[in-house]
Every structure is written in structure tokens, then in C-alpha cells.
Amino acid sequence: MDATPLMKINRNNLEGKVKDMAKSKEELLQQLSDCVFEMEDENAADAAKEYIDAGYEALDGVLKGLVDGMNRAGQMYEEEEYFVTDLLVCSDAMYNGLEVLRPHLPLDQDADAVNYKCVIGVVEGDTHDIGKNLVRIMLETAGFEMYDLGRDVSLISFVEKAKEVDAQLICLSTLMTTTMPGMKEVVEMLEKEGLKDKVKVMIGGGPISQAYCDQINADGYAVNAIGAVTLAKELVGMA
Amino acid sequence: MNSKERLLKALKGEDTDRSPCICPGGMMNMVVTALMEKANIHWPEAHTDPIKMAGLAKAVYDYGCFENYGVPFCMTIEAEQMGAVVDLGSTVYEPHVTGYVIDNLSEWGKLPRLDPYGKRAKIVLDAIKILKKDDNRVPIIGNLSGPVSVAASLIEPVDYYKGLRRHREDAHAFMSFVTEGLISFGKAQIEAGADVIAISDPSGTGEILGPRLFDEYVVTYVNQLIDGLHEINPELPIIVHICGQMHKVYQELNKIRADAHSFDSIVSIKESKKVMPGKIMIGNVSTYALEFADADRIRVLTQKVMDDGSDIIAPACGLGTKSSLENIQAMLQIVQQSSHEA
């Protein structure tokens, strides 16, 4: 998925605009946020239309409505009240709402803004991609431009894609013990190409641990999708 | 006491001279590259040839790795029989599903019924028959992929998991269909000579599903599977392995009618013994350590797992193929020593 819906948003322009808005905008934002948080994926598009029809800024609708809802869901996931299946349905609601809001978003006019780009995929030999998909969704929610290579990805593709799009981050995932060594190979390829400092490598998945991360000289390990967001921001220096 | 008596007794909670040390096979991979070289039987050929499959399973026992035979060496046969496209992998990678069959849960009726006597399913049955002829002192574990894992190999998993919440009627019909197929394959394995059936359902983890969906789908269909297998032999021991953290679903897990449970290394055997009284615990020596630590460390870890009260000593998950034979043998050696000290 090379589309980058949430990335096209200039996050610097929105602070302080909501304060003097009428309460109804807040209500509508709350409604958007709740649609995502409460997994009402079928109502999210309508809520987004209602918001746009009322004449409010699409940008706020995304960040203070949909993304806010997704972040609240992420919080619940961390507290083990929500589970992976819940987050998947929440993200459907978010994307449904986004589809309505996207055409109303201002174009990316700020050429100086840093685009944080991340290549993600499940390493060669493994096709379990639930965890990877969730991390992609949460990183996208956090504002990363995501390049998802899918599953069973040949190891060289990670490096090639990172070079092609000038990514700052590679996320590698696997659920199988037998495919873990592929992560090490990706790190080594980056070292060989002299890209190790420029492109950070983050790893995760069932059998992965911090010890393995240290051993293969990857830049970070996250235990779940929420941890992945914090770690990714830290690794690329995103405020 | 021979390996077979010991394992069968241990699975029923009866007294044994010491704990068995096993690795079931299937998702719980017990084959490493070093063993393939010793036996001169390699993946992926061993996935499609009954003589090679039996030979490699036997090598696991003969080279002092584990006290059981186990087939197959992957968890893709069931899905393949129901139409999924499988890449058979390589010497290091296990077979894995690369193409799904249906786009939508409601299309489950289009799936071919699992033929337990066709293609690679037959390879497994033939391998079991070969092993059975060979020796009757080593227990043969037949392996099945769990209902959720097979289902999530037939349809894009994200769509599958969402469907479990949104299209419950279709989801249940689909799961029943999958489970019936698994019962037929499991029964055929028992008829071929499997002494134990191990069901591994890594995709059915509580971490993904949460307690409610775990109860509604994993518990329901794993039990349906177990009951179906027990129609052939009500006493046939069943092992269930589920990946990931368990603390959110212990209550639901207790409803599963398995004799024994196997867990990831993240699960504390002490804790699970406490909350699952009467269940036999299998596990759970870290596969990470088995691949990356040295034999001394393996001895310490194995001893700890025994001290924590694990009834049957086993790796916590499938072995990485690059694990050394020395490490795996160290695990068995320390378990064997325990009988002299006891």
C-alpha cells in the first residue's frame, strides 16, 4: 500500500484553531472519534459527511476526530481491554471516515516539512501478517508515510525500497522462529551499503525479543503496535 | 519404562519414572538443519515423500533430540487440501501459505472438502504407517493445525478476524466446515497409527482475539475437533498448543477438553499450573535460547522448567532450523539425568 492518506497532512498548521470554534464542532469531532473508538465502521462515513457539511476543516476532522479515536483505541489495547481484532475494526472505521474527508484536505503545501517514510513487511519465508498490518495502521495513524511490502518479502526488497523512497525506517516482522535470521540479513545488507546509520531497523513479532534485537544489531524492538509507534518516533526523531 | 509408555502415562497424569522430553512436530518444529545433514534427508523433499518424512521423524529420536516421532513438519497441509496455495519452503524455511482461496467469509461453500487421503495428507498417513511398522516403543504424534489457523490460511487473515465479529453466522458455518475437515484428517492419522494428536492453533491466540472471541471460536471449534477425534478412541491423548500470552484467557482455556496444554516461553508454567488444575503442562524451554544460547544455559533453563512443575518437557515453540544439535541434545540429557537423581 503506497497510498499515504494521513501523511498529506501538514500537522504544523492546526494548533490553536479549535479553541474559538462553536461547541458543535467539538461534538462532531467527538462523534468522529467515537465512531472509530466504538468500532462503528458503518457510521464513520456518515459522521464524516456530517462534519464536512457543517463546514468545518477536514484536517481537524482527521487529526482530532478519526486519529483521536484510533489513539484512544490504542490506549485500550495497551490496557488489554481491546485486542487485535478490535483495533482492526476501529481502523476500518478510521479509513471509512478518511475516505470522505480526504478530498477536502488541503494539499501538502509545506515543502519543507519532513516526510517520515517507513518501509514495512513480513520477512521471507513467513506469511503471518496480522501484527505487521496493525503496526502499519498505527504508524500511519501517527503520521508516517508507509510503504507496505506485504508478507514473505525477499530480504533485498526491504533495502531496495528503502533506498528508492529514501526511507528513514524499516520495520521487519515475523511470527516464526525459522524466519528470524532474515532480520539479521537485512541489517547486514544495510551495513554493507553504508546505510545503517541513515536507515533505522525496527523488529517485532512473536518469537522476537530485545535480546535478539541487540544480538543482530537492529535499532529497536517493540513488543506490540503501540510500543512500535513510540519507538518509531524515537528512532527517526519525530516530535 | 519405554518412551511410549512414559509419554502416554504422563499425558494422563499417571506416575512415570521421570518426565518425557518431546517435541510434537507440526507447527512445533523439531527438525534442525544439522539433523537433516546427519540423516541426509532434507526439506523440502521430506514434505512430499513418506519415506523421507518418516526417516527424518525417526532421526529426531535416533540422534537423541526428543523421545517421540512426529509428523508432518509444517502446518500447511490442511489448508492446501482445502485449496490454499503453498510454497514448500527450503532447507531453512518451513512450508507456508502464499495464496488464499476465498475473498469473503460467506464464500466458504466454494471450498473443497478436505480429503484426508489425498496429496500431502496421504504422505503424512503413509509416513505414520512406516513409523508404526518400525518400532512400537516410540510414541507417534500426529499433528493438526488448529481450526482458527487453518481458517486464517484460506482467507486474508484481516478479513477473517473482522468477519468473526461482523458476520458471525457465516463465520460459524465456515469454522464448522473447517473443523469437520480437520476431524477427518485427524481420524485418518489415528487410524494410520498415531498414538497422540497435537493441535497447534497459533492464530487462535487470546492476544489477537480477546477473551470473548477466544471463547466463541477457539474453545468451540477446538472442542468440536477433540470430540470428533475421540469418536475413534475416547482415551486418545490430545495436546493443544496456543501461542502468546494466556493470562487474559485462562478461564476460557480451562474449557478446552485437551489432556495437555503447551505454551510459549512467555507463559509461566508455575502460574498456568495454578490456574489450570488437573491439566498436564507441556513446555516450555525457550526456542530463542535453544537457537542462540550455549548448552550449559540450556541445561539451566531445562532444569528450571522441570522445577517449575512442567509435566512434559518440550521446547516452547517450533525450533529455529539453525539451532545446534548439541543444544537440543542437552535438553534431553538433563531430563534423562533427572530420573537418576529422583
User: A interface mutation test: which of B29, B32, B161, B167 has the most A CBs within 10 A?
Assistant: B161
Cα–Cα distance measured from residue A145 to residue A139, given in angstroms and rounded to the nearest whole number: 8
B16 occurs within a structural domain: no
B168–A contact, CB cutoff 8 A? no
Chains A–B, number of C-beta pairs less than 8 Å apart: 93
Q: Which CATH class is domain A5-9+18-104?
A: mainly alpha
The beta-carbon neighbor of B161 closest among A88, A125, A179 is A88
Measure in Å the smallest separation between the Cα of B230 and chain A Cα atoms. 30
pLDDT at A110: 54
Lowest mean pLDDT among A23-37, A111-125, A175-189, B201-215: A111-125
- In a domain, residue B273? The reply is yes
Cα–Cα distance list, B272 to A156, B307, B311 (Å): 42, 14, 12
**How many Å apart are CA B29 and CA B323, to the nearest integer?**
11
Percent of chain A predicted with pLDDT > 90: 62
In a domain, B19, yes or no: no
Could you tell me which CATH number the domain at A117-236 has? 3.40.50.280
What is the arithmetic mean of pLDDT over A153-175? 95
Q: Is the pLDDT of residue A102 over 90?
A: no
| Test mutation, A178, A184, A226, chain B, max B CBs within 10 A | A178
**B105 CA to centre of own chain:** 26
Closest-CA residue to A61 (of A90, A26, A93): A26
Q: What is the mean pLDDT of residues B50-74?
A: 96
Inter-residue contact A158 to A139 (CB < 8 Å): no
Where does the pLDDT of residue A9 fall: very low under 50, low under 70, confident under 90, or very high at 90 and above?
low
Contact B162 A89 (CB under 8 A): yes
Q: Any idea what the Cα angle at residue B122 is, between residues B116 and B128, rounded to 5°?
A: 105
pTM for the complete prediction? 0.86
- How many angstroms separate the Cα of B285 from the Cα of each of A204, B310, B317? 20, 10, 8
Sheet holding B312-315, edge to edge: B69-71, B140-145, B196-200, B238-242, B260-263, B280-285, B312-315
Omega before A106 cis (within 30°)? no
Q: Closest Cα partner for B96 from B85, B107, B110, B105?
A: B85
Q: Are strands B69-71 and B96-99 parallel, antiparallel or unpaired?
A: unpaired
Chain B residue at shortest CA distance from A209: B288
Q: Do B211 and B251 meet the contact criterion of CB atoms below 8 Å apart?
A: yes
CATH code where residue B224 lies: 3.20.20.210
B221 Cα distance to chain centroid: 16
DSSP string, B242-286: E-S--TTTHHHHTTS--SEEEE-TTS-HHHHHHHSTTPEEEEEE-
Residue type, A205: G
Residue found under cell 516461553 = B265
pLDDT of residue A144: 93
The answer to whether A6 touches A67, Cβ cutoff 8 Å, is yes
Domains identified in chain B, total number: 1
Domain of B217 in residue numbering reads as 3-10+24-337
pLDDT tens readout for residues B118-173: 999 999 999 999 999 976 899 999 999 999 999 999 999 989 999 998 899 999 99
Give the nearest chain B residue to A151 (CA atoms).
B98
Summarize pLDDT for B3-37 with one digit per residue, the tens: 999 999 999 999 999 999 999 999 999 999 999 99
| Burial tier of A174 (Cβ tally within 10 Å: 0-12, 13-18, 19+) | buried
Which residue in the block uniquely carries the three cell numbers 468500532? A39
Q: How far is CA A49 from CA A10, A13, A94, A103, in A?
A: 22, 22, 13, 12
| Contacts A176 to B, Cβ<8 Å | 94, 318
Amino acid at site B88: L
Rounded-to-integer distance, Cα B64 and Cα B333, Å: 8
CA distance B316 to chain A (A): 10
Q: Is A145 helix (H, G, I), strand (E, B) or coil?
A: strand
Question: What are the E-state strand segments in B34-139?
Answer: 69-71, 85-87, 96-99
B40-50 as b/e, with b when 16 or more CB fall inside 10 Å?
ebebbebbebb
Residue B209 distance to chain A (closest CA, Å) = 6
Phi/psi zone of residue B275: left (φ > 0), alpha (ψ -120 to 50 degrees), beta?
A: alpha
- Residue window 37-96, chain B: list those with CB within 8 Å of chain A: 87, 89-90, 92-94, 96
Higher pLDDT, B247 or B238: B238
Answer whether residue A111 shows pLDDT above 60: no
Neighbour-count burial of A36, counting CB atoms closer than 10 A to its CB (0-12 exposed, 13-18 middle, 19+ buried) = buried
Q: Is the pLDDT of residue B174 over 50?
A: yes
Mean pLDDT of B295-301: 94
d(CA B81, CA B89): 17
